[in-house]
A and B are shown apart, each in its own frame.
Chain A
Amino acid sequence: MPHQVCKLPRRVNEAVAILLTTIFVNNFVTIQFLGIRPLLGASQKIDSATGMMFATTFVLTLASAASFTVESYILRPLDLQYLRIIVLIIIIASLVQFFELIIRTTHPRLHAMLVTFVPLITTNCAVLGVALINIRETNSFINSVVFGFGAAIGYSLVLIIFTAIQGQQRNSAIPRVFRGAAISMITAGLLSLAFMGFTGIS
């Protein structure tokens, strides 16, 4: 950043930069085009979008932490990077299941909110995407957790904006040929165009 707003330790600055970059500049949905399916099939209800947001934040943050740990303590020392995709898929899926079990017993109400959405998001390409991009881009455990969290916040932001848009479009006069997926794709494209304005902010 050319302009240092306030003096903070370098590592905090770096983490904040990663957070803002993943939310706006490299937004997972509008710039990297990952995890679009839940967006187009959004239920048009803000309430369920909120549940989805929590589930996404939970899974993506967990996936980033797991991928960094597995990559730097198991795969790289043993020279097994060619197994990366398989190992990450299995480990992330089982970790999510494991934490879901813990939450079910310790926080039943939180679990009730997440239970429908966690399986949906776990099988999404955004999860593997966040794990793989994370390995390429970050260099410490804290940074990778921040990266996953930022990706999830960026995802949630677009998801809730999109849900509100679809809710409003139920009563609008969209021509018949454009209804449904077609107009959602056009909206997603135009949102992407808008997010391109953040290019170059770092």
Chain B
Amino acid sequence: MKRSQTNRIMYEFNLALVPGCLVMIYIFGFGVLINVTTVVATVVLCEYLVFKVRALPKRNILDGSAVATGLLLGLTLPPLLPTWMVILGSIFSILIVKHAYGGLGNNLFNPAMAGFAVLVVSFPMAMSKWSAPFVDMNLAKTLEIKIGSPKIDGTTSATPLDEFKFREKVTTEEYWDPNRTKNWRVWALINLVYLLSGAYLLYKGLCKWHAPIAMLSTLTLLSTIFYDGGSSASLGSPLFHLFSGATMLGAFFILSDPVTSPNTSVGQIIFGIGIAILTFSIRTIGAYPEGIAFAVLLMNGATPLINYLVLHK
């Protein structure tokens, strides 16, 4: 594939992330904007340094893949996460996960998801604090929290996945009650926007349908099988699993990465099914509220094996 063509595809991909990005900025305020800007800037800077050290042609820096990694990582981080953590995660994802393997096209793991996972494992408290939607907070206040003293009491609230993880004896009907689980509408809206952007990607042929569709249908199937009609011990309804957390962002923008997913259609379907099963298990019986990042990393690791098995069958 020619370089200019890769550039065009990457930029259309990035463009498809913009609506979701705007909606999240509208809902969660300047924090999202600061995160995305910080991550993209750090990532591009690191990329520049790597190209300088390795004496590679610098015109590849703006090929769009680094910006895509930056956007994806920036959109998955909590809006009020301290900025130094944001920068740390970005550096890890680009230097270690991408460039130690030789840069674009050679990386084994998805850089954005690895950056996210390393932050979740290292700073579980900070990473579990999502800001409350529609809090009246100006740019100066946001910057003060993100760079200065992190006094974020009263500005954060649990995401639907958090509430689901720590709910006790709450039936699904009570769980959907807007007075109890305040944020599910907001998160459903975000997921809906990503679903529409994903549909656009598929329509334009910018990503293959196999992995996303396999993942979403397996997730639906699993949550239907294990849904017991809404008792307090239920593992969540299909609607809940499809429209909370990073389901849609993950399905269309992360699973579709051609570098870190299997290179055959059959392989991609296996890849998607595996991610759905792992995500469902981590969300329902694991310790972390959201499992997409870990599931993607595990299946990235298994990708060479899937390639081998599909090829040698």
Q: Chain A interface (Cβ within 8 Å of chain B)?
A: 1-3, 5, 46, 160-161, 164-165, 167-169, 172-175, 178, 182-183, 186-187, 190-191, 193-201
Contacts and interface: CB of A to CB of B under 8 A. Distances in A.
A195 B294 CA distance: 7
Q: Is the interface of B mostly helix, strand, loop or mixed?
A: helix
Nearest to B99: A175
Interface in B261-313: 278, 281-282, 284-288, 291, 293-295, 297-298, 300-302, 304-305, 307-308
Q: Is the interface of A mostly helix, strand, loop or mixed?
A: helix
A178 B301 contact: no
Contacts of A174: 100-102, 106
Contact of B108 (A165, A167, A195, A197): A165
B282 A198 contact: yes
Nearest 4 CB-CB pairs, A to B? A197-B294, A200-B287, A194-B297, A164-B304
A189 to B, nearest CB: 9
B204 interface: no
13 contacts: A3-B284, A161-B302, A164-B307, A165-B301, A172-B101, A172-B102, A174-B101, A175-B54, A178-B100, A194-B301, A195-B298, A198-B286, A200-B285
Contacts of A197: 117, 278, 282, 286, 288, 291, 293-295, 297-298
Contact of B281 (A2, A165, A187, A201): A201
B137 interface: no
B101 A168 contact: no
A119 to B, nearest CB: 26
Contacts of B102: 172-175
A168 B96 contact: no
Contacts of A175: 54, 99-100, 102
